[in-house]
Amino acid sequence: MVYSSIGIIGLLVQLIINYDVIFKKTSGGVRRKNVLYRRFLFGTLFYYSTDILWGIFDEQKLYKLLYADTVIYFVAMSLMVMLWTDYTTDYLEEKTGFGKALKLVGRVFFCLCPPVLIVNSFYPILFQITGQGEYKTAPIRYLLLLIQILLFTLTGGLTLTLSFKTAQVKRVRYRAISVFGFVMGTLVLVQVYNPLLPVYSVGCMLGTCLLHTFIYEDEKAEYRNKLEELLKQEKESKQALNSARTAANTDALTGVKSRRAYLEMTDRIDNAIAEGTAGEFGIIVFDINGLKNINDTLGHEEGDRYIREGCMMICRKFCHSPVYRIGGDEFVALLEGSDFNAREELLASFDEDIDLNQQQGLIEVSTGMGVFDPELDQSFSGIFERADRKMYERKDLLKSRDKSWQRQF
């Protein structure tokens, strides 16, 4: 079991550190190089399994099973070499003649293995198991190992060379692949002279640990950083969009809600009325009297101050209601909740303040209220029209008072 224990340790280490790669389904968005890495890991697991069984069959002197497992062992070894050359050349995105040649040699190496094993069953050109269970090597074995040494060394040399030409973020990853290639090449050379040492499993274990630590985990960290950056950009975009939306829905002169926000509100109410879900609400239409005269005699700057002053009066009185500026001197307050319940008192109090202002020659604001009637109203416009008519009635009343006071003086 000493021989098999190395394979068992390698297999367990690989299952533990690459659990998420091996057992979790790969999403469609994963890049091809990660798919190839997963395939390579499955290839090494296959190899570990044959190597573990080899040690068990040898110790138990199960020679027929030992022979069969040795055949599978060489298939697993050649498969792993092919998957390794596929993974490295694809990861490096090496599409030069040299990279294509490496991949081709890896695939030819795998394709040649089955015919060699078939011939070996009739004539031992690769290996043989004697009647006493002794494992004996044959010439083709050395050729196969030599090809592997060459492939591992060349991939190591290629990635080391490319590491000097690539960006800093990829340099460590390239050199991890390079170290794997050189380590495997060296250990396969040891295997040439010591066929009964499990150095191949040792190399696979060290190599996959290198790949996981310096490539897979590093790429995951890079992906997380990119994802965090994208999320940050998305958050900033949302904040900018919200800021733009807030700016668009806010009247620049007065700070209350804009006409755009008013139109959104009326659409929302129209939908609620159509669906039968509209609750109790009312509106008050406001119009600031005498703005044209202020603009003509004192200028538009004083007119703007006049509008702000009128808006502040509205907001102070109807402090629990959203107020919209829908025109130059026109405002609308949407009454819901406590302001709706106290609508008559609030409107009467506001009009009393305006009456007092009129006597003192201060700002005048005309008002008109409309209340939603489910039996009557099919849209917001009907409520607005009733409120607007009442506002003009109030405006006419205020104007008539102004004229009567002017006649007195």
Blockwise average pLDDT, block size 10, the chain, 409 residues: 85 86 62 75 93 91 92 94 88 75 90 94 92 89 92 88 80 86 91 87 86 74 74 80 78 90 94 92 94 87 92 93 92 94 94 91 93 92 95 91 49
Asked if residue 109 is part of any domain, the answer here is yes
Asked if residue 70 is part of any domain, the answer here is yes
Task: Determine the pLDDT at residue 124.
Answer: 93
Residues 269 and 370 in one domain: yes
Domain at 377, CATH number: 3.30.70.270
* Whether 178 contacts 144, CB under 8 Å: no
Task: Determine the pLDDT at residue 252.
Answer: 87
Task: Determine the pLDDT at residue 211.
Answer: 81
Per-residue exposure over 43-62, b if at least 16 CB sit within 10 Å of its own CB, e if not: bbbbbbbbbbbbbbbbeeee
Domain at 81, CATH number: 1.20.1070.10
pLDDT in tens, 234-252: 887 788 777 777 778 888 8
Asked if residue 18 is part of any domain, the answer here is yes
Residues 205 and 295 in one domain: no
Residues 52 and 192 in one domain: yes
Domain that holds residue 206: 2-221
Asked if residue 247 is part of any domain, the answer here is no
Asked if residue 102 is part of any domain, the answer here is yes
- If phi > 0 it is left, if psi is from -120 to 50 it is alpha, else beta; for residue 302 that is alpha
pTM over 0.85: no
Q: How many domains does the chain have?
A: 2
Task: Determine the pLDDT at residue 167.
Answer: 77
Task: Determine the pLDDT at residue 131.
Answer: 84
User: Among residues 199, 221, 243, which one ends one of the domains?
Assistant: 221
For residue 325, give Cα distances in angstroms to 239, 285, 313, 349.
25, 10, 13, 21
Residues 17 and 143 in one domain: yes
* Whether 182 contacts 153, CB under 8 Å: yes
Asked if residue 227 is part of any domain, the answer here is no
Residues 86 and 194 in one domain: yes
The Cα angle at residue 253 between residues 247 and 256, in degrees rounded to 5: 60
Asked if residue 234 is part of any domain, the answer here is no
User: Among residues 191, 221, 251, which one ends one of the domains?
Assistant: 221
